[in-house]
Amino acid sequence: MDASYLPDYYAILSAAVTPSPMGLYLDAADIKDDGNGVYLTDDFYAKNGDKYALAGHIEKGAWNTDNTYPYSGMYTIEKWNPSDKSCTMVLNPEYKGDYRGHKPSIQKVIYKKVVPSTQLEDLKSGGIDVLNEITGGDETNEALKLVKDQPDKFIATHYARAGYGKLQFRADFGPVQFPAVRQAVTYCMDRAKFAKDFTGGYGGVVDGPYYSGAWMYKEAVNDGMMLNAYATSVDTAVKLLEEDGWVYDKDGNAYTSGVRYKKIPANEMDERDVTFQSKDGTYKTTKVGDDYLMPLVLNWYGTTNNPVSDLLMTGFLENPLLKQAGFEIQNTIGDFNPMLDELYQAPVTGSYGGIPMYTCFNLATGFYPQYNMDMVWTIDPAEYEDYTNYFCKDSADAYWLK
């Protein structure tokens, strides 16, 4: 770790590495350091004709580790069943135990994919023995009823989720690149009701990138942390939009009703902004003199068989406060992988439509023990352009220069 990063609360965790045997990749080649930098010896780059001599060795050794080499963990994979998507794991005789020397005692563990619609039936029938991470009010109530009705067979453990569901913005193009737009959306949504409807009262709302069980959140609350809870107010939303310049109609006249537009100088627009339009093509960005008029349109991509998508249909897509504020919301409901392609604006799974369109996605996030926002937010333009970090180019309240 570079000394400039010290002191760092997570230094030991950040420095953790998982070693791999050199022979998997190098065979007889070696790594050298003669004082002028680390390098691989020439035999690593040796060729047979137009192919690297070690290519076959690397492919054979590095890509078949699942069933070729011993594991160091608690369990090894015994078999995979593609029909029911289950993985059978058995105790690993090579496992040395944790730092106390403790080893697991369950001989066999079957890890199986379940779907929300049938997960409790699987549990009742014995198809699965443990069902974790139940969310949603209906599912939770059904599970707790099962425990209440058959206490001799089932037990429940309650714990706070280290994460949350969210309506995520791709905030580097279109209207959502402007903080006032994102804030106005939040003011028009009843987040507390949404959370209660989804969780059945077993969850709540957070007002930032944290979860309520985090130690740093508890410390911050004790220290008097105050966050904007965005109490529902269409008047506040309208005020924010007007102050941000969303004061025109599609012809550039003063806004009176319908969909708002914002006048943006041409030198502040990129190609995705110039071509931005509603999903159905009704509302388009148009050039007026040296400026562009951008419509206050949010194209949302939701996923199928998802209760959050169902709630967003009324809480977001058909939200009367958003209409009243001057928004137009349009949507697509589809599978998860195509949604990711639209989020990344790249054919990661081969499903990208080719034209940047969607700026809103219903997703979820989880937190790791290393809660370090240094690698999440950035004011570095190069990282912003490369999608290394979140697509936000908002004015910072404060920042530190190294």
The series of mean pLDDT values per 10 residues for the chain, 402 residues long, is 78 76 88 92 93 89 70 89 92 92 95 86 89 85 92 90 89 94 97 91 88 88 91 98 98 97 96 96 96 98 91 95 98 94 89 90 86 70 63 68 62
314 with 294: CB under 8 angstroms?
A: no
pLDDT at 375: 64
Domains and CATH numbers, the chain: 3-68 (no CATH), 75-149 (no CATH), 164-385 (3.10.105.10)
pLDDT at 274: 96
In angstroms, the CA 382 to CA 388 distance is 8
pLDDT at 303: 94
pLDDT at 24: 83
